[in-house]
Structure 1
């Protein structure tokens, strides 16, 4: 297994280097786990073997394993080593875990499950936002919408504007638990959109769909906001299904 650089990692002694090293190790192990290279129950390489192979310190490897354990991907036991956890224990709401899932081609059921989650959360959030949003929040939504139109979703800037738009809707609900889902929802938006563009298969421009959601929220029409957001997410799922080859 290789690290992000492809040729192994040489650890540096500067104060800022260690976090990058253990984060890189965690990412590579995380990608290997969520892609199925390491199946649930599999034992990861021991810290001595792994450290010698990649020329990194044992402490960097241990810190990477702690990061994965915090996300539910692995569990470490003194006598049995570090094992990959059952998938049901993985924190699939973690934005990094979502990102790792899209490094390679994700399983279709997993992609669909993300859209199911969005269809449960976002239409209700849009309805709440329509009656609770503030004028400054509307102004920021409008700016994000304009950013999407100016840059296009084929660019990193356009996708950031898209994420900002969806995040602002959750914040505009005035509901703290819903707002706390913002990082997960926007990560799902980001990676499914990037996946479509990576495949060079984007059936249509969804800007008008976003504009319809914004118009309903700006008008204070909760029912219309719910309806337009449902349509937006449903059509995004349809577009993604086309990419997946349905």
Structure 2
């Protein structure tokens, strides 16, 4: 009898990630059935219960549906929970398509200027301090791309946090999964990173001074530049 290579707590997670990645990358096309249970047991090295539990999890993410007459099939993309952390990871990590990068860049343009505007209206002293600390970290890491990526994500998260809106912050935390992967591609130039610092400073200053329109305009400049970088890398 073959030994199951996965501990109990990891078996169904292995199924979820193996099948989920295939669905999101298009290897399993919407409308088509997934491999039969016996095939998945043999291929993934797990038990039937792990396969069934994994299918249930993927159904909860909107990727699969099970019907008595049709078996388990891949659902169309519009049914997927696109902001689910796993779905975002399978879509953007390690390599995002040009189309996915465009979608993410457009989302930032649509979302982040408004978040900066609300932050200028709502931020308390503690939130402004967190933005200033994140800005200082950006300056401190400008010569080193990897820490700079982390500092940049923290700066933008601080602004979403300053908006005092749990839905906005949740959305940012989800899309940051994708942002981190994409920025590994287009945030490698030290010179360019330094060029972006004045725009980030303008955002922070506008929020600190409660100038909501200036905050919105400054953030729009930041994300428009980021979109241009992403689409031309």
TM-score, reference length from structure 2: 0.85
Superposed CA offset, 1:85-114 (max 9, x none): 111111112232111112354332332222
CA RMSD, aligned part only? 2.5
Runs of 4+ in 1 over 6 A off after TM superposition: 200-203
Counterpart for residue 3 of structure 1 = none
Give the structure 1 partner of residue 64 of structure 2: 74
d(CA) in 2 for partners of 1:43 and 1:30?
Answer: 13
Q: Is the 8 A contact 1:212 1:228 kept in 2?
A: yes
In structure 2, C-alpha distance between the alignment counterparts of 1:203 and 1:82, rounded to whole Å: 51
CA distance in 2, matches of 1:151, 1:20: 37
Equivalent residue number for residue 226 of structure 2: 236
The aligned counterpart of 1:46 is 36
Please point out which of 147, 160, 178 is paired with 2:168: 178
What's the counterpart of residue 84 of structure 1? 74
List runs of 5+ in structure 2 lacking aligned partners: none
Q: Residue 202 of structure 2 corresponds to which residue in structure 1?
A: 212
Residue pair 1:44, 1:83 contacting (<8 A) in 2 also: yes
C-alpha deviation, 1:130, in angstroms: 0.9
Match of 1:59 among 45, 49, 55: 49
Which of residues 2, 5, 9 is equivalent to 1:19? 9
After TM superposition, give the deviation of residue 11 of structure 1 in Å.
3.4
* Structure 2 residue aligned with 1:28: 18
Distance 1:114 1:202, change over 3 A: farther
Q: 1:204 to 1:29 in 2, by over 3 A?
A: farther
Structure 1 stretches lacking a partner, 5+ long: 1-8
Greater fraction of residues in helix: 2
Q: Deviations over 1:128-150 (max 9, x none)?
A: 10121111112222222333343
Q: After the TM superposition, which of the residue ranges 86-95 and 209-218 deviates more from structure 2?
A: 209-218
TM-score (structure 1 length as normaliser): 0.81
Q: CA separation in 2, counterparts of 1:67 and 1:190?
A: 25
